[in-house]
Copies of this chain bind each other. A is one copy, B any other.
Amino acid sequence: MMEKIKIGAIGLGRLGYQHAENIAFKIPGAELIALCDKNEEKLNETVKAWGIPYSYTDYDEMIKNEELDAVVITSPSALHTTQIANALEAGLHVFSEKPLGTSVEECKVAEAAVEKYPDLVFMLGFMRRYDPSYAYAREKIKNGEIGKVVLFRGYSQDPESCIEGAIAYAGHSGGQFIDMAVHDIDLARWMLDSEPKTIHAIGGCYAHEEFGKYKDGDNVSALMQMENDAMVFLFAGRTAPHGYNVETEIVGTKATLRIASVPQKNMVEILDEHGVRRECSQDFLERFEQAYIEEINEFISCIRENRKPEVTVYDGTKTTEIAYQCKQAFETNELIRP
């Protein structure tokens, strides 16, 4: 058996905790040897429960740990680019959650750092690409099975049941396009191999006025045309009553593919007084459970095999750039021509 890749993880929020737990227990090729979080109580509790040898409240201390091979970053978005640069500087491979940065300028900083250390692996957490269904659909598109792509439709809806957290975080999220639609922007670019030439965006506060003060909506949408003429319709919302609805459709001239048009929790169908029904996934951790594991597996494999992941730092920058253009289109109500 090969030596395990030794990993330090920062961030014990919901997704950070999941990443850490996956690395500790579900990724045979990796070993979680260090954890970092500002919340000491949560940190100590976790380190103790899992038997992790090193713990830190200071990220820059953690990356000095010479046993480390790599870091996994799930910190607040505004810290990503600095932490990426510092880890690379320290000779560590880096996996960072999306977004790459909270501005295009920040992204450029990350780009420079990544370019400076071409021997280190850098990977960005666009986990949907590692979901088996998305990967399967992508293959069909690449193989020409759906013909020329006509329309990409991407929905990202959070359940209404999470609205309180979303409102509380509204001032920091960057807005719907940057916080949520960014995944669909990545998928669209990945599946269509093209960049937008026009962007129009609309939306509003249909249930929760609170988003208005950040010039954001609780539900927004954008219509883009790509340079290869493919149409892209994005819809991002926070008020889905039925659950976490991430649904994608790619209409081609020869076939249409729909991924998760029913966001079913599992393979159980229920027939009761509500009709014939499927219960739905309730959050990203449930829907993308396997994808979160697969992406870290891929990160580990890249390190081992000395190759680069498909998702590059430039994808991070470009996606951020487009998300900001959507935001601008939404705020100005003008047609953007990037």
Task: Mark A residues whose CB is within 8 Å of B.
Answer: 1-2, 24-29, 31, 50-51, 132-133, 136-137, 140, 147-151, 160, 198, 200, 202-204, 206-207, 219, 221-223, 225, 229, 231, 233, 235, 237, 239-243, 245, 251, 253-280, 333-335
When chains A and B are docked, how far (Å) is the Cα of A334 from the Cα of B223? 13
Quick one: given A239-B150, A275-B277, A276-B278, are A270 and B256 in contact (CB under 8 Å)?
yes
Q: Is the CB of A271 within 8 A of B253?
A: no
Quick one: given A198-B333, A231-B203, A333-B198, are A271 and B259 in contact (CB under 8 Å)?
no
Quick one: given A200-B335, A260-B267, are A1 and B242 in contact (CB under 8 Å)?
no
CB A44 to nearest CB in B, in angstroms, measures: 18
The residue on B at minimum CB distance from A253 is: B207
Q: Is the CB of B275 within 8 A of A243?
A: yes
The residue on B at minimum CB distance from A225 is: B202
Q: Which residues of B contact A270 (CB under 8 A)?
A: 255-258, 275
The residue on B at minimum CB distance from A273 is: B241
CB A27 to nearest CB in B, in angstroms, measures: 7
When chains A and B are docked, how far (Å) is the Cα of A133 from the Cα of B264? 11
The residue on B at minimum CB distance from A226 is: B202
CB A310 to nearest CB in B, in angstroms, measures: 19
When chains A and B are docked, how far (Å) is the Cα of A333 from the Cα of B224? 12
